[in-house]
Structure 1
């Protein structure tokens, strides 16, 4: 009598397992929402906390802003923490039609004109930002603290 050799893709009962199936939840690679390269570019200005805002850490972003990157010590440490901040942001925020990196670049460089709000199709507030210099900068500061959440909310909405 011949001994039965189990197939590696089957369990003891002969049923197929998910081993080797790239589409399983355990084997699926997490979808990237944030870009490490942009995080490092923003880290150059890290004493302002910009990279921390980008990766969804507004409280420490504010602390870095007001303390010069935690007296430059935190700024140097963050050089090594960016990969983990990127992984955390990728796990926390949803992908969708709106790109986080695009919104952040628009906010960072054109925020007082409300271009990031136009990108999100928030027309009324975008025009208000355009006419008031980003809501007299108060709106821009608000958006630095909440932009990831705004984009996440838009990406989680069902397509209309």
Structure 2
């Protein structure tokens, strides 16, 4: 009997660890993430000229509808080697001044930051704060000017994105 009881207790403990307490319903967002809570709606561009209509306002979350990745004409080839979701798109961003900016996504996808047809390197990657709905944060040191955020390999046809300067 002792031998049957131990595996049952171990399974119950493993289940409890895998199903931690849910996030509080109205938990406040950490400082710097407050505008994530109420995203606007947008449609990602599928070709470069469309990025002038599809623009991401700095510091404001937007839930984007992403087209089928097979219809998207990316400015630079997407860099994601492990991202194989069927959705992607682009959105333009007018960066007012040089600084490090962070891009936040609600789900898994690869992102590339493009300026003047060049793929810009990121400087940091991290997970979003717990209980925020932010899955990943990628930081980019950017110069002032027009940029295009490319999203590729998303598993779902919608994704929430926000870009802000680092605090």
- Normalized per residue, which structure has more strand? 2
Q: Which has the higher contact order (CA 8 A, sep 6+)?
A: 2
Q: Same fold (TM over 0.5)?
A: no
- Normalized per residue, which structure has more helix? 1
Structure 1-normalised TM-score?
Answer: 0.25
Structure 2-normalised TM-score?
Answer: 0.25
